[in-house]
Amino acid sequence: MGWIILLLVILCILIYLFELLSAYWPCLLLLAVPFVGWKIYESWYYKSSSFLSVKCRIESYIQDCNDLNQHIESLKDTYLVSNRTDYGDAAYHDSSKWNYKRAHLQNQKYAPNVYNCSRTVCDNARKRPFEYVCKYFGVKPTEESLEEFENILNNFNAVEEGKTSIQAEKSKILDSIQNDIPFLIRRLSKKKLEKKLGFEEIDMGTAYFPMYVFKYVSSGGNASTQCEVVMDIDNLNRFVVFLSEKIKFRKSAAGQRALMTSKLRQHIKERDGFTCKKCGASLQKEPNLLLEIDHIIPVSKGGLTTEDNLQTLCWRCNRSKGAKI
């Protein structure tokens, strides 16, 4: 009996839709014709010789943009220092009576940068985040940890500067062909135009910044607090200084050097005249050029962060040097 009623309801809906379409089909047709016409025109244009000619003319510039985009994405993968011990995996089964079960404990999963803690630890982490990151995530205040965090900061600085550079270069390329692209294509098909020209999608987000989380959940699961320490550019600059003060760096022989902060990066660029020391490319010649700071003798081979061991390289030269080491 139930399925007969369901069929009757579906039949009534179909009849109603048919009558609705019968009454309004001229309006729908008026809307459909321009849309279909636009899609046909759009498809024809992207296959036309005029578009293919424009694409061929700027192909090398677009490839350079895409190479820079890939370089930026590779810098985002810089490993975050964390020396927490891996204690393995185990299965959790709550055998309590139904009214004592704690569902949040069953669903709780291990994450390398999440520390499940007491309410007190969570509150104190909010007041002294760097100290608690070191204490509970195994970041030891050693010269090795400091060098690794400086490397992270150096790479992330390059990422943020690179995102600005690549957007500016992309806009410059699109502006240069503005008169060659029909107005409707530029206005109504902007995203598709960029894709058809060959531009790769640029991720402008900051989700790559590492985050340490202190998480408290009450035994009943009704109350919870969370303290998040995001290692963005500002926090990384301050954390590098925090680590250096913790280990009394200036008292060690290897520590007679500067800290690789954003301020030092800018100083080295100014000293080198915003010019690549290898190929001579400069901001004067290429306003949107991404410049990076490089250790002449790599840290991995004993090089220190001293001014005489630092140089300005363009992203192309720095990438090619990194590939050879």
**Residues 218-264: pLDDT tens digits?**
877 788 899 999 999 999 999 999 998 888 654 554 455 678 889 99
Say yes or no to pLDDT of 125 above 90.
Answer: yes
169, 288 contact by CB (below 8 A): yes
CA distance 183 to 193: 12
Rounded to the nearest angstrom, the gap between the alpha carbon of residue 274 and the centroid of all alpha carbons in its chain is 25
Report the SS3 class of residue 154: helix
27, 20 contact by CB (below 8 A): no
Say yes or no to pLDDT of 110 above 50.
Answer: no
Listed residue (68, 91, 271, 57) closest to 166, CA to CA: 68
Question: What would you measure as the largest C-alpha separation in the chain, in angstroms?
Answer: 89
Say yes or no to pLDDT of 217 above 80.
Answer: yes
Bridge partners of 314, per DSSP, are 291
Give the residue with greater pLDDT, 280 vs 38: 280
145, 139 contact by CB (below 8 A): yes
Mind listing the pLDDT tens digit for each residue in 281-301?
A: 999 999 999 999 999 988 878
Give the residue with greater pLDDT, 92 vs 40: 40
CA distance 115 to 188: 48
